[in-house]
């Protein structure tokens, strides 16, 4: 045996055997690659010439159901397929997420659409050029009123307006960040009932996980926040669901994957890889009820949302109750993929937030709506990532929607749209 080893080693190192080995390896590789889906093949190929510039990516998230695609991309190891490692980082508040994105402690974040736009324009903190890589989810937030208000008959925006007129006092409503989505859904909903959120009520900022505790001690009359905190308020017997945000705008954009423009410029391949990993996670979540239930079990854990599974798993399936005995199945529940319709960073979606910032006096003058959206929303980068996964991309970066007040938004004349509201700051 001792004499055969050197001979075998010598044989392996001979030119003929090396050529044969290379041929067999190449043939085997080709055979294996033929079994791999095209999108994954192109990603594997990209690792050679378009390798991620940064391998470990810290992605901040707030404990909300809609952090799920970021978390599951890491937990299910979709990230490893693209040569990266996603490190989900739990954060305490949106202001904290903003600060850590701006100073580089976080590479990316599961973040409010309007927060990224506000920072870019310098109205939601320090001014810094920002980027939106993709939309993470549509729908799935809600407007909660206190049980005390509901007991007085305020169960929707019309009855709330009537009560506020009948019993005048300072009514306080909470949102999660001044330029964020929840502030805009809250203000839009109140205004649809004739309530001016800037004049007829007081708006305060409360981090999402603290909403229920603050309502319990009477710090607010209502709030707008992401799940599971609206359902949690019902489970705890302190609040009722007066409306869902899909009632305000069906298939509205919600959280996005945000980062600084500088990060995109320095790490375009990393950004593509992260988009692909999260797209895969999004597709996986929406693929089946079983996957959604598994997702709920994961994100309910202490490291993520830190709540009971039953606070999460009903509304992600569209099974709603309002806390007053009404139950319904909502086809427009929170969606993470919806055959790719969710994730494209529409320019018109970004522009809409700017129109509302102008409406409520956060912006003094009309910005270059389309120009700002083109700078922030990384439509080309997203399209490159989506094409590698065979995910369709819309023909136009603008889309049309009718909101709760019957007004149509299509991005065609944002200044006119912003100035056209009767109820405004």
From the list 345, 330, 425, 328, the residue with the least C-alpha distance to 384 is 345
Looking at the chain, the whole-number percentage of residues with pLDDT higher than 90 is 88
CA 239 to chain centre: 25
| First-residue to last-residue Cα distance in the chain | 89
Residues of the chain under the 50 pLDDT cut: 1-47
Q: Under a CB-based contact definition with an 8 Å cutoff, are residues 176 and 205 in contact?
A: yes
Q: What is the pLDDT of residues 156-173, one digit of tens each?
A: 999 999 999 999 999 999
The per-residue pLDDT for range 259-283, each reduced to its tens digit, is: 999 999 999 999 999 999 999 999 9
Topology (CATH level 3) of domain 56-138+254-326+335-399: D-Maltodextrin-Binding Protein; domain 2 (3.40.190)
Q: Write down the pLDDT at residue 305.
A: 98
Query: Across-strand partners of 329?
Result: 319
- Amino acid 124: pLDDT: 81
Q: What are the pLDDT digits (tens) for 100-134? A: 999 999 999 999 999 999 999 999 888 999 999 99
Query: Checking DSSP bridges between strand 130-135 and strand 172-175, what pairing results, if any?
Result: unpaired
- Domain 141-248, CATH: 3.40.190.10
- Residues, the chain, total? 425
- Look at strands 108-112 and 130-135 and give their pairing: unpaired
Distance CA 179, CA 408 (A): 22
Q: Which residues pair with 204 in a beta bridge?
A: 174
What span, in angstroms and rounded, lies between the C-alpha atoms of 25 and 22?
A: 5
Residue among 378, 376, 136 at smallest CA distance from 277? 136
What's residue 277's pLDDT? 98
Q: How many CB atoms lie within 10 A of CB 117?
A: 30
Q: pTM of the full predicted structure?
A: 0.89
Give 90: exposed, middle or buried? Use CB within 10 Å, 0-12, 13-18, 19+: middle
Q: What pLDDT, on the 0 to 100 scale, is given for residue 260?
A: 98
pLDDT for 125: 81
Q: Where are the beta strands (DSSP E) in 137-293?
A: 141-146, 172-175, 202-205, 222-226, 239-244, 255-260
Three-state secondary-structure class, residue 353: helix
141-248 has the same fold as 56-138+254-326+335-399? yes
Q: What is the pLDDT of residue 221?
A: 98
Residue 173 and residue 220: Cα distance in Å, rounded? 6
- For residue 394, the model assigns a pLDDT of 97
Domain ranges of the chain: 56-138+254-326+335-399, 141-248
CA angle 109, 115, 119 (to 5 degrees): 100
d(Cα 279, Cα 195) in Å, to the nearest integer?
39
Strand order in the sheet with 202-205: 202-205, 172-175, 222-226, 141-146, 239-244
pLDDT of the residue at 45 = 36
Residue 362 DSSP symbol:
S
Two structure tokens written together for 368: 């270059």
């Amino acid at each position: 045996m001792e004499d055969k080893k050197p001979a075998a080693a010598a044989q392996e190192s001979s030119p003929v055997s090396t050529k044969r080995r290379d041929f067999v390896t190449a043939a085997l590789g080709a055979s294996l690659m033929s079994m791999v889906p095209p999108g994954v093949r192109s990603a594997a190929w990209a690792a050679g010439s378009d390798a991620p510039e940064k391998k470990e990516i810290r992605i901040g998230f707030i404990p909300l159901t809609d952090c799920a695609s970021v978390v599951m991309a890491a937990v299910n190891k979709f990230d490893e397929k693209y040569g990266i490692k996603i490190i989900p980082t739990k954060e305490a508040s949106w202001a904290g997420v903003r600060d850590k994105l701006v100073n580089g402690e976080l590479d990316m974040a599961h973040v409010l659409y309007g927060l990224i736009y506000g920072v870019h324009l310098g109205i939601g903190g320090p001014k810094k050029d920002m980027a939106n890589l993709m939309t993470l989810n549509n729908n799935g937030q809600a407007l909660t009123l206190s049980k005390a208000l509901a007991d007085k008959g305020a169960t929707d925006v019309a009855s709330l307006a009537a009560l506020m007129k009948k019993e005048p006092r300072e009514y306080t409503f909470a949102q999660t960040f001044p330029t964020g989505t929840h502030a805009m859904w809250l203000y839009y909903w109140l205004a649809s009932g004739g309530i001016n959120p800037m004049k007829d009520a007081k708006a305060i900022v409360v981090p999402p996980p603290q909403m229920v505790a603050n309502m319990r001690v009477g710090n607010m009359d209502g709030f707008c926040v992401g799940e599971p905190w609206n359902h949690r308020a019902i489970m705890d017997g302190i609040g009722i669901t007066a409306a869902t945000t899909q009632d305000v705008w069906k298939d509205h954009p919600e959280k996005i994957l945000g980062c600084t423009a500088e990060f995109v410029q320095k790490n375009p391949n990393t950004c593509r890889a992260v988009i692909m990993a999260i797209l895969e996670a999004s597709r996986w979540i929406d693929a089946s009820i079983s996957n959604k239930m598994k997702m709920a079990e994961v994100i309910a854990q202490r490291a993520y949302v830190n709540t009971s599974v039953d606070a999460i798993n009903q509304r992600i399936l569209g099974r709603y109750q309002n806390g007053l005995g009404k139950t319904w199945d909502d086809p427009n529940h929170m969606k993470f993929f919806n055959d790719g319709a969710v994730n494209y960073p529409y320019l018109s979606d970004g522009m809409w937030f700017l129109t509302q910032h102008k409406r409520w006096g956060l912006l003094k003058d009309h910005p270059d709506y389309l120009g700002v959206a083109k700078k922030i929303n990384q439509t080309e980068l997203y399209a490159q990532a989506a094409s590698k996964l065979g995910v369709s991309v819309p023909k136009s970066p603008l889309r049309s929607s009718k909101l709760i007040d019957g007004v149509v938004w299509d991005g065609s004349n944002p200044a006119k749209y912003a100035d056209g509201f009767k109820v405004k700051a």
